[in-house]
A and B are shown apart, each in its own frame.
Chain A
Amino acid sequence: MRRATDEGGVLMEGVDKSFGALRVLDGVSLHAAAGEVVAVVGPSGCGKSTLLELACGLQAADRGEIRAAPAVLMPQRDSLLPWAGALDNAALPLRLKGQDRTTARAGAHATFEAFGLAGFESSKPHQLSGGMRQRVSFLRTLLAGKPVLCLDEPFGALDALTRQELQAWLAGALTTQPRTVLLVTHDVEEALVLADRVCVLSPRPGSVRATLDVELPRPRSRTDARIVALRERALQELAA
């Protein structure tokens, strides 16, 4: 039913998912070709996180087809290891591949510096700002080396300014390290600035209300007239 590699992408067809009597997803279809960023927006509780868990293989669909290349989850809260320094946190997936600590740290270090984290190698998560924690968390996700990244509200806990800064930063990071991305967010603007396509989900049980193609060059400005127009459409679909 799933796990047939779709050449680095994700394909979902008519996916249903319930937890007991609670119907969470209802006939969801979604496609992300290799290297595409697809955003999923919807009201809270509409099954966005479940969608990502299905794509990662953490849950099985009740019905429908899922074909996805190996995917790694970046959970909503950063879930950094509180006792480990930032570099050790980022290097965790390399250690899980069997590398010793020195090799893993060395392997993570180049990108660690490129992500603006130099000097914070041994800082514990509680000593880092929210924005920096998300950078470490994203680096950890990247270093898992999976073709598909499932990002669950990566900037949800940040203040508005940091959030915009990190959105621009993520767009840049993805141009140097291109991956297929499923981005769950409740922020329509964030979705339009970052994604090639935006799927608007209905309230629970979630189904796809509309799919908006965002065929605009990057970097994008949230004040661009075309973004503003797409934003209006997406908000109309959400309110419908």
Chain B
Amino acid sequence: MMPALLVLAFLGVWEAYARSGAVDELILPAPTQIADALSQDRALLWDNLLVTASEVAVGLLAALALGFGLAVALHFSRTARRAVYPLLVASQALPVVVVAPLLLVWLGFGLGPKVVIIALVSFFPIVVTTLDALRGVDDDLRKLLRTMDATRWQAFRFAELPAAAPAALSGAKIAVAVSVIGAVFAEYAGSSSGLGHLILQAIPQLQTARAYAAVALLAALAVSLFYLFTAAERWLNPRPGGPPS
């Protein structure tokens, strides 16, 4: 209820401001104009939403696999942790606009470079939350497992892995917003469809309302994914308050 009221209030102020003539409607369309664009261009927007949503879905799944795998590798090898962790941080400082053309040369204009870019901007929070969960397993539990003759593999299988799985989803939640932005950048760099591509086309054609309609869909995509990951996390670890303490 409260979020709906907040959104309504925000849209009301925006509408009044846009209609007041203080700013050109080609720069900032009013919410009602965006709503018109949403309904008039719905077929176009829907087709492009499907393209971007599948890029983001595949990219985030790739980020989950990559991030989880890396976290496990870093957890098991102190050497890898020392050597690779700083490089992972460095990878996050890579401006996508610089590497995107290179990826296009390597991987073409299809799904490939989008998935790589989305995974690149999304995997890092997954590595961090997963690694923290793997290392955060209760010390008493580790001792108990040792006195029960658990092998290293069994400690992973029965104590670390179940704690790490919801943590990886928690990282994916953090990555959702940036993954959507990553998709837009990837489409800017070279593509013939997707909401990012649509925005890139709409702005020089002075179709600002259509561009904003695409942005609204991107935001809705991010929110849906966020709640999807939240639900999956709850399902894996139904304890209130999240991962084990």
> For the complex, is A240 an interface residue (Cβ under 8 Å from B)?
no
Q: Are A96 and B158 CB-contacts (below 8 A) given A83-B238, A144-B147?
A: yes
> For the complex, is A95 an interface residue (Cβ under 8 Å from B)?
yes
Other-chain contact of A95, B138, B158, B237 (Cβ < 8 Å): B158
Q: Are A79 and B138 CB-contacts (below 8 A) given A58-B147, A73-B143?
A: yes
> Could you pull out 19 A-B pairs where Cβ atoms are within 8 angstroms?
A56-B143, A72-B148, A73-B147, A74-B144, A75-B143, A76-B140, A77-B138, A79-B140, A82-B244, A83-B162, A83-B237, A83-B238, A83-B239, A92-B148, A96-B148, A96-B150, A124-B239, A144-B148, A150-B147
Cα separation A92 to B145 with both chains bound (whole Å): 9
Cα separation A100 to B191 with both chains bound (whole Å): 50
B154 to chain A, nearest CB (A): 6
Residue of A nearest to B245 (CB): A82
Cα separation A71 to B148 with both chains bound (whole Å): 8
Query: Does B148 contact A82, Cβ atoms closer than 8 Å?
Result: no
Query: Does A58 contact B143, Cβ atoms closer than 8 Å?
Result: yes
- 3 A-B pairs with the lowest CB-CB distances in the bound complex, closest first: A75-B140, A82-B244, A79-B141
Cα separation A84 to B244 with both chains bound (whole Å): 11
Query: Does B239 contact A82, Cβ atoms closer than 8 Å?
Result: yes
Neighbouring A residues of B237 by C-beta, 8 Å: 82-83
Cα separation A4 to B31 with both chains bound (whole Å): 80
- Which residues of B from 156 to 214 have beta carbons under 8 Å from A? 158-159, 162-163, 166
Query: Does B154 contact A96, Cβ atoms closer than 8 Å?
Result: yes
Neighbouring A residues of B163 by C-beta, 8 Å: 83
Query: Does B144 contact A81, Cβ atoms closer than 8 Å?
Result: no
> For the complex, is B42 an interface residue (Cβ under 8 Å from A)?
no
- Which residues of B from 221 to 245 have beta carbons under 8 Å from A? 236-240, 244
> For the complex, is B146 an interface residue (Cβ under 8 Å from A)?
yes
Neighbouring B residues of A75 by C-beta, 8 Å: 140-141, 143-144
Q: How large is the interface on A (under 10, 10 to 19, 20 to 34, 35 or more residues)?
A: 20 to 34
Neighbouring A residues of B24 by C-beta, 8 Å: none
Residue of A nearest to B166 (CB): A83
Neighbouring A residues of B240 by C-beta, 8 Å: 126
Query: Does B141 contact A96, Cβ atoms closer than 8 Å?
Result: no
Residue of B nearest to A152 (CB): B140
Cα separation A56 to B236 with both chains bound (whole Å): 33
Other-chain contact of B149, A83, A84, A96 (Cβ < 8 Å): A96
Neighbouring B residues of A144 by C-beta, 8 Å: 147-148
Query: Does B140 contact A77, Cβ atoms closer than 8 Å?
Result: yes
As a 0/1 sequence over residues 74 to 102 of chain A, the CB contacts with chain B under 8 angstroms (1 = contact) are 11110101111000000011011000000
Neighbouring A residues of B238 by C-beta, 8 Å: 83, 124
Cα separation A74 to B148 with both chains bound (whole Å): 10
> For the complex, is A53 an interface residue (Cβ under 8 Å from B)?
yes
A88 to chain B, nearest CB (A): 10
> For the complex, is A57 an interface residue (Cβ under 8 Å from B)?
yes
B143 to chain A, nearest CB (A): 6
Q: Are A93 and B148 CB-contacts (below 8 A) given A81-B159, A81-B162?
A: yes
Other-chain contact of A126, B140, B141, B239 (Cβ < 8 Å): B239
Neighbouring B residues of A83 by C-beta, 8 Å: 162-163, 166, 236-239, 244
B179 to chain A, nearest CB (A): 27
Neighbouring A residues of B154 by C-beta, 8 Å: 96
As a 0/1 sequence over residues 121 to 158 of chain A, the CB contacts with chain B under 8 angstroms (1 = contact) are 00011100000000000000000101000100000000
B161 to chain A, nearest CB (A): 10
A75 to chain B, nearest CB (A): 4
Other-chain contact of A81, B146, B147, B244 (Cβ < 8 Å): B244
Query: Does B158 contact A81, Cβ atoms closer than 8 Å?
Result: yes
Neighbouring B residues of A84 by C-beta, 8 Å: 162
Neighbouring A residues of B158 by C-beta, 8 Å: 81, 92, 95-96
Cα separation A7 to B240 with both chains bound (whole Å): 45
B162 to chain A, nearest CB (A): 5
Neighbouring B residues of A77 by C-beta, 8 Å: 138, 140
Cα separation A84 to B157 with both chains bound (whole Å): 13
Query: Does A71 contact B141, Cβ atoms closer than 8 Å?
Result: no
Query: Does A53 contact B244, Cβ atoms closer than 8 Å?
Result: no
Cα separation A146 to B166 with both chains bound (whole Å): 33
Cα separation A125 to B158 with both chains bound (whole Å): 16
Cα separation A124 to B144 with both chains bound (whole Å): 19
